[in-house]
Amino acid sequence: MNPSRSTPRRRRDARLAALVGVGALLVSGVAALAGPTPASALDNDLALTPPMGWNSWNQVRCYDLNEDVVKDAADAIAATGMAEAGYEYVVVDDCWQGGRGADGVLFSHPERFPSGMKALGEYIHSKGLKFGIYGSPGSKTCANRWDSYPILGLGSLGHERIDAQTYEEWGVDYLKYDWCDADVNDGLTHQAAFAVMRDELARLDRPIVYGISEYGNTQPWTWASDVANLWRTTQDIAPNWGSVLGIIDSQAGLADFAGPGGWNDPDMLQVGNGAMTIEENRSHFGMWAMLAAPLFAGTDLTALPSETLEIITNPEVIAVDQDPLGQQAHRLRHSTDSQVWARPLAGGDIAVALMNTGDSTRRITTSVDEVGGAGAYVVRSLWERTDLYNTTAGIWAEVPAHGTALLRLTPGTSENVPSALGVSGELTARPGVSARMPVTVTNGDDTPATDVSLAFEATPGVTMPASVVVGDVAARGRATVEVEVRLADDFAGRVEVPVRIISGEGEYSGALTVTALLTGDVYVSDLPWTGASNGFGPPERDRANGEEGAADGPLITLDGTTYDKGVGTNPEARIPFRLSGQCAGLHAVIGIDDDVAARARAGGITPRSTFEVYADGRQVFYTEFEQGRDEPTAIEVDIAGADLVELRNGLVGEPGDPDQRSWFAWTDWADAHVSCEVAEPVVEIGVSPAATTSGWHAGPATITLTGTGALEYSLDDDWLAYSEPVRLTDDGEYLVRARAATNGRVAETTTEVRIDSTPPDVALTADADEAVVTAADAGSGLARLEYTLAGEATVLDLAGEGDVSHMVDLSGLGGGVHPMSVTVADRTGHEATATIEVTVDPSGSVDDGANGSQSSGDNDSTGSEGAGDATGSEDAAGSDTSAGPARPERPASGEAAGADAAGSTPATGGASGLPATGRTWPPVAALSALLLGAGCALTVRRRVRS
Ligand code: GLA
C-alpha cells in the first residue's frame, strides 16, 4: 500500500496543460472530454433522499481492506444505533478485486475476501443493511494508478453487462462507478461511458443505486441527473480542515442542480479521521447535511469515540440531510471568517448554517429575511437540540473557531423561549461623508424591554459609534435612534454591520446594512464581486484571463485595441455584483481576447463563448461570440433598478455538434462600467381633512407621507420611522417635519397643522349698571360675539381675539325680568352660550344683589352652563350663580359643567338646551374664580364697550 498518496490532480489540470501547452494533440484530447448526451434518462426511482452508509476507502484505503473489516462495519452499524439513524449501505470500495476469470467474471481477492462477495453481501443483508461495491468504466481502477494495485483488467470496459449481472447475482444494492482516467487510458467520454453502465443496471431486475465519480471535472451537475443517482463534485476529500473547507467552498452555486433521485456528492465523510477538532468534525458533518450530500462514514465504527458517534447519529442534523424536499443549501454570504448557508425544508421550516472559518469564537448573524423566511420562527440549535429563541428578524449564534451553528427555523413562536429583540436599519451613503442612519429596535414580546442599548461590531470601511443607548422599548413596540455613520473614502458595495442588542432581559443579535452610494460611471472591475467564479484561475480585474492566480493575464486587447479597464473571464464564468438599484445601464465592449487567438489557431480550435447579463436573476442580454467571425461589440444593457447584476460567460458547442464545447476562450468585458444616475429623494406631507378657512382644523387631523425610500417624520425633536398615517388628536399647533433618504441624499419638508377642537369659554354676569361678557379661546381665537338683551341682538366681529371682556350698559332697562343670552364662536366654528336673567325692580334699579355685594340666594338671576368637561371647582360653582363658562363640546370626558356649577340649585333650563339655574348675582370677583376654576385662562387683554 502507498499511504502517502497525494490528492490527485485530475482532468481540470489536464485541460489547463492542453491550453498552456498549445499542442494540437492535447487540445483534441480536450475536445474528446465532451461526449454526446446520453439518449435516455435515469429513471430508477432510487435515492429519493441522499444515500447513507459506510464506505471502506477513507478508513482502510486499499490493501487493508478485507471481508472482516466490512463485516465489522456492518456489525457496528447495526449495534451502535447508526442503522436507526439511517445508515444503510455498506460499500466495499476499490481493492476488493482479485481479477477476472476466463469467463470474464470478476472475482474477489482470494486472501482478503476468501468467502467471496456473494457471501459478504448475504452477511450485510442479514444485518438488515444493503451492499455496495466499487467499479470503474475504463480498463483500470484508481488503485491501479494511485496505489500501484497490481491486478489489471478490473475496470468494466467491455464487461459492463457481465459486471452488472455479477453485481445482481451477488445482491449488490449500490454501485460506485469511478472514472479513473478512462479518457486518458481508454479514450472514453464521460457521459457516454457512464451511461453504458446506467443502461446495464436498468436491464437488471435488482434496483441498484448508481453513484458516479469523475471528481467534478466535467461539471457533472450540468448533465448527470440523466445518468446517475449521485455524482461526485470534487476531488478526493482528505482528513483535514483545509480539505473539508475547500470542498464546502466549491459547493456554492451547485444547489439547484440536485434534488430527489439525483444528488451532488462532495465525497465521503472524514468525520473521526485525522486530527480534526470536534468543531471541525461538526462543521464537516453539518455542512454535508446542509448540502443534501450522501453521508458515507469512512472511519472505524468499532472504535468510535462517543463524541464522533454523537455527531454522525444526531437525528436532527440527519433530518436536515434527509429532508424530503431535497433542496440543497445555498450560500448566502461569506467572508474570510464566516459563511451563511440556508436551505428550505419541507413544511416551511428553514435550516441555517452559520460557519465560523476564522480562528476564534465569533458571533455570526443573519436574518429571517436573508434566509428566505417571513414572519415569526422558533430558532432551534440542532447540535444542542434545544429551542433558543423566537424571532421575526435577527438570527445569530456564538460559533467557536471552525465550528458551525446549525439552526432550524420553524414557523410560529414558542412560549418556552424568549422572543428576540430585532434591529433594522439601512443606509446608502456617499463614501467619505457622514450620514445619519435611523436604527429601529423592535420588541415582538408581550413584556417591555428595559435599558436597551446597541453595540455595533467594528466593520472595515465603516466608522460608527461602538454603541448607542436606546432606552426602554414597550411591549410589542419599537424605538428608533439615529446613528452617525461614515463610510471610508474607498468604500464600495454593501456590508452588513453585526449588532448586539443588549437589554435588561437578555442579549440578542441583528445586523444593519450599509451601502455605498454609486454615482456617475463606475467600472465593474472597481466594484466588489460577491462570489465570482471562472473557468481557469480567478476572473481578472482590468486584465484578460490568466491561468492560475490573480493578475496573471495580459492587458485586455480586442482586435488590436488595448483597454485599461474591464473584466477578463473564461467560460464558465460568473461575475455577480450589487448595485442596490442605483444604476441604469451596463456598458462594455465584448469579445475574445487577442491573447488567445494565436494559440487557438495553433490548436485548431475556434474560441467561442456566450456573453450574458442577468439583472436580479433575469437574463437581460445574451449573445454567442465566435472569435474570427464576430467583431468586438459595444453593448449597452438596461439594468435600471437592479440590485444583483451578473456577467456570465458560458460554453458554446461547435456548429452541428453542440456537445463539443470549448472552454478555450479568454472572454473580455472591456471597459465594463455601469452608469449610475442618482435619483433625488422626494417627500410630501398630506393632511386630511383640510383645515377650515382660518387655517385651523376643527378636530383631529391625519398626516400621510408619500415619497421615495425610507420616510420619517418628526413632531418635536425626535425622528420616527414612518410606516402608516399618523393621527393628531390633541389641540395645539404642530410643526410636522418629514424627510426621505434615497441614495445617500435627504429631502425634507415641513407643514404646520393647527387643531382647535375645543369651543370657546364664555361667562356672563351683571351688576347694577352693566352686564359683563367674558370670553376666551386659546386655540384658533374668537370670531364672533353675539348677545341678545330685551329682544335685541347685537353681533360683534372679534377677528381672532384670544379673549375679550365686553360690558353691556344696563342702565336703560325698565323694571321686570330681562333674559340675556350671549353666544361666542371661535374661528373653527365651535360655539358656546351663556344666559342670565336680569331682574330690575319697579323702581328701575337692578336688584342689590347685582351690585356684587350679595351672593346669596334670593335673587333671581339665572345662570346657565354648557355641557362638557369644564370642571369648575365646587366652591366657585357652589357659591357662584352667575353664568359660568360654557364649553359645550370639549372632547375630553369630565363631569358636566352644568351640574358642577349648578351645585344643588335646580336647573331651570337655559340657552342651547342646556341646564340653566336660577341664582343670586355673584360678586364680580367670584366670576374670575369661577372661570379660572373651570380651567380657563382669563386674561383680559382688551375691554370692549358698546
Ligand atoms: C478515487 C475515488 C476514491 C476512491 C479511490 C479508489 O480516488 O475518488 O473515492 O474510490 O479512487 O481507488
CA–centroid distance, 94 to ligand 1, in Å, is: 7
CA–centroid distance, 178 to ligand 1, in Å, is: 7
User: What φ, ψ does residue 804 adopt, rounded to 5°?
Assistant: -140, 155
Across the chain, which has 946 residues, the per-10-residue mean pLDDT values are: 28 29 25 41 92 98 98 97 98 98 97 98 98 98 96 97 98 98 94 97 98 94 95 96 94 92 98 96 98 98 96 98 97 88 97 97 90 94 95 92 98 91 87 88 88 95 96 90 91 86 92 86 87 86 89 94 97 89 93 91 89 91 95 95 90 74 87 83 92 95 90 89 92 95 78 96 87 94 92 89 89 84 96 90 52 28 31 32 40 32 30 27 32 28 29
Q: How many CB atoms lie within 10 A of CB 921?
A: 31
Q: How many CB atoms lie within 10 A of CB 794?
A: 13
Task: Name the DSSP class of 165.
Answer: H
Q: Which of 2, 5, 64, 94 to mutate to test the pocket of ligand 1 (most atoms within 8 A of CB)?
A: 94
Q: What cell numbers appear for 207 in the block?
A: 434496483
Query: Cα(444)–Cα(442) distance, rounded to whole angstroms?
Result: 6
CA–centroid distance, 562 to ligand 1, in Å, is: 46
How many degrees, rounded to 5, is the angle at CA 541 between CA 538 and CA 546?
A: 45
Bond prior to 418 in cis (omega within 30° of 0): no
Query: Cα(198)–Cα(279) distance, rounded to whole angstroms?
Result: 39
Query: Cα(616)–Cα(493) distance, rounded to whole angstroms?
Result: 16
Query: Cα(491)–Cα(434) distance, rounded to whole angstroms?
Result: 13
Nearest protein CA to atom 9 of ligand 1, as residue: 236
Q: Which of 56, 62, 151, 178 to mutate to test the pocket of ligand 1 (most atoms within 8 A of CB)?
A: 178
**Catalytic site positions:** 178, 236
Residue (of 931, 937, 934, 936) closest to 772 by Cα position: 931
For the CA of 57, the closest atom of ligand 1 is 4
Residue-level pLDDT at 464: 97
Q: Map grid coordinates 378636530 to a residue.
A: 699
Q: What cell numbers appear for 532 in the block?
A: 465570482
Query: Ligand 1 pocket: which residues have CB below 6 Å?
Result: 57, 93-94, 141-143, 178, 213, 236
Sheet strands (E) in 445-580: 449-456, 462-463, 467-473, 478-487, 494-503, 506-516, 520-523, 540-541, 556-558, 561-563, 566-569, 573-578
CA–centroid distance, 454 to ligand 1, in Å, is: 52
Give me the half-sphere count of Cα atoms (radius 13 Å) on the Cβ side of residue 218: 27
For the CA of 141, the closest atom of ligand 1 is 12
Nearest protein CA to atom 11 of ligand 1, as residue: 142
Residue-level pLDDT at 333: 86
Query: Cα(675)–Cα(672) distance, rounded to whole angstroms?
Result: 10
Residue-level pLDDT at 385: 96
Query: Cα(599)–Cα(909) distance, rounded to whole angstroms?
Result: 111
800: CB partners within 8 A, 6+ apart: 694, 780, 781, 782, 783, 827
CA–centroid distance, 660 to ligand 1, in Å, is: 28
For the CA of 267, the closest atom of ligand 1 is 9
Cα 86 to the center of its chain, rounded Å: 34
Nearest protein CA to atom 1 of ligand 1, as residue: 142
The pLDDT tens digits for 808-839 are 888 888 888 888 999 999 999 999 999 998 88
CA–centroid distance, 173 to ligand 1, in Å, is: 19
Q: What is the pTM of this model?
A: 0.59
For the CA of 58, the closest atom of ligand 1 is 9
- Whole-number Cα distances in Å, 230 to 75, 214, 386: 26, 11, 33
Query: Cα(887)–Cα(870) distance, rounded to whole angstroms?
Result: 6
β-pairing verdict for 732-742 and 745-755: antiparallel
